Structure 1
Amino acid sequence: MTKPVNSARGIAADVTAGRTSAAETAKAALGRIEAAKPLNAVVTIDPARTLTDAAAVDDRLRAGETMPLAGVPIVVKDNIWTGGWRVTQGSRLFADFVAPQDAIAIERLRRAGAVVVGIGATSEFACKGVTTSPLFGPTRHPLNPELTPGGSSGGPAAAVAAGLVPLAIGTDAGGSSRRPPAHVGVAGFKPSYGAIPYGPGFAEPFFGLSVIAPIAATVADITLAFEAMAGVDPRDPDSALIARDADDIAGPRIAFSPRLGLDVAVDDVVANGFISAVERLSASGLRIAQRDPVWPAGATEEAIMPLQHAGLAALHGDPFRQDPTVFDPDIARQIERGLSWSGADVAAALVASTAIANAFAAFFTEIDLLLAPTVPCVAWPLTQLGPDMIGGRPASPRAHAVFTPFVNHARLPAISIPCGTDAAGLPFGLQVIGRRGQDRTLLRAAQHIETMLRTFAK
């Protein structure tokens, strides 16, 4: 599959200058989506609506309006309200749901001139580390159709990696918009919690964790999208101000942690590729020291997973009791577990979540940026929840997700950028984690790191 002819920034410049139109750009994106149907990255299209929206952008330009995303085609994950579009969460329960309005982030992107060209696949309720759902089936990896792009934002990530659109919008409650980009070779950004207003939209099973997350081929395009979406909105009581001025990249104290201070398995190709990337960045002049976060006893993803299970059970327990077969079997098992957890179990998970957040907060009093792997392995067969082995050890179904969830519980910003590939050309990512509220510092640093890694790769 071909890469897009231009970046989001380049498309906006061309449309604004009249070298092309939003309508022509939208038609081209719809053609690419149609040609890529076997990928199953984009599960809903509405060409008439898309072309009407694109024509409206052209009209706004002719009227003299300036828009930073003029005519940029975007794919929006199938759990984010996009007004007038079918948005299903990948669930039979919402198969015919039409969003009554835009989420604030989508409203802001449209105001900035972006044009929605499709809805990107997600796992059911965005609660699974691979992208497959009862409604739409599996999304395939753009480099190998027998593999998964990961989840739950596999559709948006695959759409960008395959060149269908330059920009997609996902969500991230435990790594859902960092791991799939790492697996397909693009960038994915999880902002600080509250940096981008969340909703209006579906009730979330992830209480106080999920964020709107832009995915693009470059950090520059992610930054463009972030600036269009970020900022306080009174409709979201959790939306928060973030620092306006970015620090100089030469100033931040930067650490790297090969395993994020966890006793987890990592494939040799990822471990070696990560260390090689750190060495190249050190050679470019960045001052980087090895340092691991220190976690409280019992800090594991298993300790915090009751929050997700209980959230699912609270939202969907009644239809589960009526007919469990309506759900993806993997999601049904999570709901069943959620119904079995006691109040004390859920409270213990909240205690663990708070302890993880406090540990990360203490760590970031002494450093500004942390480099870690995004994933411990490359993509695996799409029929499996995870690879059978990682780092020579038998792997549990969630062993592929070890490096991302703690960041959500600490509500920190983090971005995954391409770091290397294995012998088969399958990508993996380097994760840059920052202090809460310092999203712009993080993005500026990530753009510098991205440039250095690409320079060394030539």
Structure 2
Amino acid sequence: MTKGRSSACEIAADVSAGRASAVETAKAALARIEAAKALNAVVTTAPARTLADAAAVDDRLRAGETMPLAGVPVVVKDNIWVRDWRVTQGSRLFAEFVAPQDAIAIEQLRKAGAVVVGIGATSEFACKGVTTSPLYGPTRHPLDPTLTPGGSSGGPATAVAAGLVPLAIGTDAGGSSRRPPAHVGVAGFKPSYGAIPYGPGFAEPFFGLSVIAPIATDVADIALAFEAMAGVDPRDPDSAGIAQEAKNIAGLRIAFSPRLGLDVAVDDVVAEGLAFAIARLSAAGLSIAQRDPVWPAGATEEAIMPLQQAGLAALYRDAFREDPTVFDPDIARQIERGLSWSGADVAGALLASAAIANAFAAFFTEVDLLLAPTVPCVAWPFTQLGPDMIGGRAASPRAHAALTPFVNHARLPAISLPCGTDRCELPFGLQVIAARGQDRTLLEAAQEIAAMLRI
């Protein structure tokens, strides 16, 4: 976040104590968003609606209500329903869609006093590792406008990194709210599947993988937002309870895996930066053993990718057949590929997903926290799907995303923390992963780790 900007915790404390108002706080956020239009991080604003919501928060405070997120300005990703706001998934198919109600998570944020100030850019259907869409074009990296922040939550991550808001809400079905934060130097949290209720909203192509994901500079802000949104809700049959008590980091069994046990390329600067971070954590008193998860044969992102492609094809095949040019060309290719998969192919991908989940579950019977890279490289030009080279190898368009999807398939909580930069000051991240349901332990540990790294 831009130096001198207040955190969500600080804003909520000031607004609650009357040292600031929700209205003035919202006005300041809207002014910052307007001044940063060139980033294309926030694609929709509705100032009158935002200021009316902020005024309502001030009224609630005067009436004696206590709100943990009082007056905190929030940007919400363009695939999460926000009542009466234009929410498009970055798609021409939904260019005029206005959400009829809030997603449960947004409803809970509003109850906690947060104020939506804008909608953050996403790639079309949140299905691409670069944040660009047919409706809005590319989102620019806040440190270098020729680069991408990654995807698909590039708009929310950039809004936080540029200091437009202290808190943003993304989604994460394969790393979409961990990789962009890693690339722009902020924190992004993927909760356990079901920990935060999902929907109502758009139909998902991801078959039970996507989660609501808070993004902030401070882990304390993420924890505050998580507590406001988490909890079982009867409207979401997949919502699930999590452990109530957090375990102290001093007693946790911690492992470090330089490549998550996968045959993937990692740039030297990232590998060296992670090794340096692990050394600092060890020097601060953590006992960390190098250990890799053991994956089943054939466990690769390619093995599970048919689920996303077939999901897109199931949802949008009619529109694709009518006019494929309405879609982002990369999304059109995914839909076309999805139409070619057989039922046995999709079942095979589901079996691969289950095998990955079982392997991770076995690993976390012997380990409490796993540290690994979030991304294998720093940001690259926004005109490309990925960097040309990673770790001295020619890189496929998805090679930059190799270190995050397995966490989604195992339904585990994970957070990306900034832990270093390259010579051009471009950030990369440390991913901290825990067993399913141990979200509070993970968040408490992440705050300790961030302090140890002096982030």
Deviation at 1:380, TM superposition (A): 0.2
Deviation at 1:249, TM superposition (A): 1.0
Q: Write the deviation string for residues 93-116 of structure 1: whole angstroms up to 9, x where unpaired.
A: 000000000000000000000000
- 1:169 & 1:144 partners in 2: Cα distance? 23
Q: RMSD of the alignment, in Å?
A: 0.7
- 2:244 & 2:262 partners in 1: Cα distance? 33
Contact 1:3 1:162 in 2 (8 A): no
Contact 2:122 2:133 in 1 (8 A): yes
- 1:91 & 1:4 partners in 2: Cα distance? 36
1:82-101 → structure 2 map (5 Å cutoff):
82-101=82-101
Deviation at 1:2, TM superposition (A): 3.8
Identity of aligned residues (%): 86
Q: Which residue in 1 is equivalent to 2:194?
A: 194
Describe the SS at the equivalent of 1:433: strand
Q: In the alignment, residue 151 of structure 2 is paired with which amino acid?
A: G
Q: Which residue in 2 is equivalent to 1:45?
A: 45
Q: Which residue in 2 is equivalent to 1:211?
A: 211
1:231-270 → structure 2 map (5 Å cutoff):
231-270=231-270
Q: Write the deviation string for residues 46-69 of structure 1: whole angstroms up to 9, x where unpaired.
A: 000000000000000000000000
Q: Write the deviation string for residues 292-317 of structure 1: whole angstroms up to 9, x where unpaired.
A: 00000000000000000000000001
Contact 1:3 1:161 in 2 (8 A): no
- 2:450 & 2:106 partners in 1: Cα distance? 27
Q: Write the deviation string for residues 302-344 of structure 1: whole angstroms up to 9, x where unpaired.
A: 0000000000000001000000000000000000000110000
TM-score (normalised: structure 2): 0.99
Q: Would you say 1:358 and 2:358 are equivalent positions?
A: yes
TM-score (normalised: structure 1): 0.99
- 1:128 & 1:257 partners in 2: Cα distance? 26
Contact 1:197 1:239 in 2 (8 A): yes
Deviation at 1:349, TM superposition (A): 0.3
- 1:417 & 1:5 partners in 2: Cα distance? 19
Q: Would you say 1:10 and 2:10 are equivalent positions?
A: yes
Unaligned runs of 5+ in 2: none
Q: In the alignment, residue 397 of structure 1 is paired with which amino acid?
A: P
Q: Which residue in 2 is equivalent to 1:74?
A: 74
Q: Which residue in 2 is equivalent to 1:380?
A: 380
Q: Which residue in 2 is equivalent to 1:183?
A: 183
Unaligned runs of 5+ in 1: none
Contact 1:3 1:164 in 2 (8 A): no
Q: In the alignment, residue 389 of structure 2 is paired with which amino acid?
A: M
- 1:3 & 1:313 partners in 2: Cα distance? 44
Change (3 A) 1:4 1:76: farther
- 1:71 & 1:414 partners in 2: Cα distance? 27
Q: Would you say 1:109 and 2:109 are equivalent positions?
A: yes
Deviation at 1:3, TM superposition (A): 4.3
Contact 2:2 2:161 in 1 (8 A): no
- 1:326 & 1:11 partners in 2: Cα distance? 42
How many pairs align?
A: 455
Deviation at 1:248, TM superposition (A): 1.1
Describe the SS at the equivalent of 1:214: strand
- 1:353 & 1:220 partners in 2: Cα distance? 32
Contact 2:123 2:132 in 1 (8 A): yes
Contact 2:177 2:213 in 1 (8 A): yes
Q: Write the deviation string for residues 146-192 of structure 1: whole angstroms up to 9, x where unpaired.
A: 00000000000000000000000000000000000000000000000
